[in-house]
Amino acid sequence: SYEPTWGSLDARPLPAWFDEAKFGVFIHWGVFSVPSFGSEWFWWYWQKEKRAPYVKFMEANYPPGFSYEDFGPLFTAEFFDPNQWADILKASGAKYVVLTSKHHEGFTLWGSKYSWNWNAVDVGPKRDLVAELATSVRNRTDLHFGLYHSLFEWFNPLFLEDATNVFKTRKFPTSKSLPELYELVTKYQPEIIWSDGDGNAPDTYWNSTGFLAWLYNDSPVRDTVVTNDRWGVGSICTHGGFYTCSDRYNPGHLLPHKWENCMTIDKKSWGYRRNAQLDDYLTIEDLVKQLVETVSCGGNLLMNIGPTHDGRIAVIFEERLRQMGAWLKVNGEAIYGTKPWKAQNDTVTPGVWYTFSPKEGKVNAIFLNWPVSGMLELGEPQAKLGETQVKLVGYEELLKWVALGEKGIVIALPQLTPQQLPCQWGWTLQLTDVN
């Protein structure tokens, strides 16, 4: 039983499934998907910061007096097919999905009784989007279903009143934020609670430790649920389950605590942008590199897409997801269920990252560039003559190799045409019986 203290909560072992999963898909969807301009922070940039591009965009395209709330009914989701989404998610090779149940705008994608007339059942789609996606994901895939939830809301009067009182009053968390969290967990039983948006308030204001103690002790998901580290000022990268540390966090070296790199395919935004250019999207080569670097350093990759206001996963996002799935179909054994090896990347050849498969006792060397010479030199593995075997994943025959003194090995790659290659964008060498 866990006490509502960080000391007690932080001692909870992270359920094993999360580390084994390695790869998840983040989905940022909400009223911000209607203007779908600039950023999912549209409301804040337009109304609070009054940034010129946002102000001009509204003046040019909407009548005077048009409010952000007026976007609500335009969030229609008429093309939202949760079964299709689930099938795309499955095809991506992801092992979990995290949907924004509520972003900083306060609009809930479920019919929350704590968000009267500002939710997807009362306004817009008139559908419980959380329930529909949860059902499809659970019926059609083996992905773990998770939910993002923003603690604060930019313009909620109760939050603004508490902020004015330097968070000495707690009207907002007690009447809105916490009841929503309990409602989400009991109703949808998510296996990830991805918290965000502390509004510069401490965890004591949010009663984060009280909620997490309930989550770990008494909730319907107490044995399998994982949480992140965004539970109030000062908790990020310090307290909670896995650490996110910052958006797009990719340290490039091994960390002692389980962590996650949450990042976006669209380099500039988490929500959908109608004005995105092709160059704004990461290529599949970029994404495979992110995955390999992240996993070799002990992290998970949470890769974000932003659906449209009418409920479509844009074709470019679908293509990237399916490409990732195609790559993982070949190389998944070097990703899923692996542990970091003694070295994370190679010292001699750049663009080579290592993982270790404990069950098989194999070292996986994932290389992102196929050498022109056909020879790949690795500085880290210690090969043993007559014992070490080297295999290219997806290719039948064993590869020839030569040891370089105490440490290091040169591997002769097979001469293959592009059509004969087992995959594109990165390849895995499996080394057995190395020291």
**pLDDT more than 70, % of the chain:** 100
Query: Does the structure show a pLDDT above 90 at 95?
Result: yes
Q: What is the pLDDT of residue 360?
A: 93
The closest alpha carbon to 429, from 379, 385, 384, 378, belongs to 378
Residue 327, phi then psi, degrees to nearest 5: -65, -40
E-strand ranges in 256-399 read: 259-264, 299-305, 352-357, 362-367, 375-378, 389-392
pLDDT at residue 239, as a whole number: 98
- Per-domain boundaries in the chain: 6-334, 339-432
Spatial CA neighbour of 430 closest among 361, 340, 329: 361
Strand order in the sheet with 352-357: 352-357, 362-367, 427-432, 389-392
Q: What is the three-class DSSP state of 380?
A: coil
pLDDT at 435 over 80: no
Q: Is residue 405's pLDDT more than 90?
A: no
Domain 6-334 in this protein, CATH class: alpha beta
Structure confidence at residue 70 (pLDDT) = 98
pLDDT band at residue 45 using 50, 70 and 90 as cut-offs? very high
pLDDT at position 352 is: 98
Model confidence over 266-307: pLDDT tens digits? Answer: 999 999 999 999 999 999 999 999 999 999 999 999 999 999
- Position 419 pLDDT exceeds 90: yes
Mean pLDDT of 118-134: 98
The mean predicted confidence, pLDDT, of the chain is: 97
For residue 192, the 8-state DSSP code is: E
Q: Give the contacts of 1 (CB within 8 A, at least 6 positions apart).
A: 217
- pLDDT of residue 315 exceeding 80: yes
pLDDT tens-place string over residues 2-20: 999 999 999 999 999 999 9
Q: Could you tell me how far CA 56 lies from the centroid of its own chain?
A: 33
161: pLDDT strictly greater than 90: yes
Whole-number pLDDT of residue 287: 98
pLDDT tier at 406, thresholds 50, 70, 90: confident
What contacts 24+ positions apart, CB below 8 Å, involve 52-56?
none
Superfamily of domain 339-432 in the CATH hierarchy: Golgi alpha-mannosidase II (2.60.40.1180)
With left for phi above 0 and alpha for psi between -120 and 50, is residue 215 left, alpha or beta? alpha
Q: For residues 293 and 300, is the Cβ–Cβ distance under 8 A?
A: no
Q: What is the mean pLDDT of residues 194-211?
A: 98
Read off the pLDDT of residues 204-261 as tens digits, 9 standing for 90 and up.
999 999 999 999 999 999 999 999 999 999 999 999 999 999 999 999 999 999 999 9
- Which pTM does this prediction carry? 0.98
Checking if the pLDDT of 200 tops 80, the result is: yes
Fold match flag (6-334 vs 339-432):
no
The yes-or-no verdict on residue 395 having pLDDT over 90 is yes
d(CA 165, CA 159): 10
